[in-house]
Structure 1
Amino acid sequence: MSDIKFQQSHTLGFDKARELAGQWMTEASQKMGLNCQCQQGEQADTITFERMGVNGTLVVSGDAFDLNIKLGMMMSAFKPMIEAEVAKNLGRIIEKASKQA
């Protein structure tokens, strides 16, 4: 197993971060075939996701997105590409929302 950990701070506040996490969850389901579930909390939401060879969590709070991904043996060969794509996509989403705020 190979792990990917990614953290992105933000200044969007919890409501906007929750909205963005919902958008991420929809896109992840449609584009990557991830089965996603969200557990909402008062201070943070936790999205769990999985598909064959990949599982993980995205914890969303009022000031950060914390993403932890576990790759199975077959997917671990793609770790550098997945890390780059995750950083690019999550950063793009946050930047776009920050400009609209």
Structure 2
Amino acid sequence: MADIKIQRSHALGMDKARALALDWMNGDAKQLGLTCTLQQGENEDIIQFERMGVTGQMTVRPDAFELDTKLNMMMAPLKPLIESEIDKNLARILAKAEGGTPKA
């Protein structure tokens, strides 16, 4: 198994971070074929996701998103590509939500 761990700090606060995560869950995650479940908490939410070859969770906090993904051995060779795309997309989404442009 290959692990992908990404953490991105932000200044959105919990309400905006939660809304952004829900948009991701109901949009991009569905397009990727991910099945998601949401556990909302007072100080953090956890979105668990899975599809064939991929399992993981996104922790949504008022000041950060943490993504922990596990790839099975068939998906492991694609880890660098998957990790790069996740990181790039998360940066783009956060930059847009914060009113800026993503860093190259």
Q: Secondary structure at the match of 2:89?
A: helix
Letter in 2 for 1:47: I
Match in the other structure for 2:63: 63
CA distance in 1, matches of 2:29, 2:5: 20
**Matched-pair identity in %:** 55
Q: Secondary structure at the match of 2:19?
A: helix
Letter in 2 for 1:63: D
Q: Secondary structure at the match of 1:73?
A: coil
- The one-character-per-residue Cα deviations of 1:50-90 (angstroms, maximum 9, x if unpaired) are 01110000000000000000000000010000000000111
Q: How far apart are residue 31 of structure 1 and its match?
A: 1.6
Match in the other structure for 1:87: 87
CA distance in 1, matches of 2:18, 2:55: 20
TM-score by length of 2: 0.93
CA distance in 1, matches of 2:64, 2:16: 11
Q: Secondary structure at the match of 2:99?
A: helix
Q: Secondary structure at the match of 2:28?
A: helix
Match in the other structure for 2:23: 23
Letter in 2 for 1:98: E
Match in the other structure for 1:73: 73
- The one-character-per-residue Cα deviations of 1:16-70 (angstroms, maximum 9, x if unpaired) are 0000000111123322100001100000000000011100000000000000000
Q: How many residues align?
A: 100
Q: Secondary structure at the match of 2:84?
A: helix
Match in the other structure for 1:32: 32
Higher helix share: 1
TM-score by length of 1: 0.95
- Please list every run of 5 or more consecutive structure 2 residues that lacks an aligned counterpart in the other structure: none
Match in the other structure for 1:14: 14
CA distance in 2, matches of 1:72, 1:28: 21
CA distance in 1, matches of 2:27, 2:78: 20
